[in-house]
Amino acid sequence: MRASNVLGLNKHDVLHMDGNSACLDDGHRARPANRLRAIHGESDPFAKLAEVQAITGVSCPADEQDCLQPDGSGYYLVLDAQAQDGDAGHCVSAYAPGEDCAGSTFDVGWAPPAKEPWSLLPSLDWLASFADAK
């Protein structure tokens, strides 16, 4: 595996359900920060923005939602207003009014043909750029 695109990223593990596990933080894992792209929902109940910043190794001002770096790594904060159901929760790619992760369809802002920075296609394009990378 050369790069990772993650949604609903948090620092919980079986020993640290409070979100204080540092093993995923930038510099504490094998994958470098420039090989990690995170999509984070504004209303994710399981992860705080500070956790996503620690894991990605990227920090932007609180009012800046696009924290993707020129190479495509970093994070993007999906606002509730961008989600089809008005809830950019833990399962930000799902369309599930009032249910977060229980939806059986995808959010129109995430699913193809959507081309927003948080959408599936730009993330797949970013991952594809590592296909021939060493």
The string of pLDDT tens digits covering residues 41-58 is 999 988 888 888 988 999
The model carries a pTM of 0.87
Confidence band (pLDDT; 50, 70, 90) for 13?
low
Strands 66-68 and 74-78: antiparallel
pLDDT value for 115: 96
The most confident of the ranges 6-10, 30-34, 78-82 is: 78-82
Which DSSP category does 111 fall into?
S
Distances (CA, A) of 20 to 24, 37, 46, 59, 114: 10, 20, 12, 18, 34
pLDDT value for 26: 74
pLDDT value for 20: 61
**Is the model's pLDDT at 62 over the cut of 90?**
no
Q: Which helix (H) or strand (E) holds 127?
A: helix 120-128
Average per-residue pLDDT for the chain: 87
Which DSSP category does 83 fall into?
S
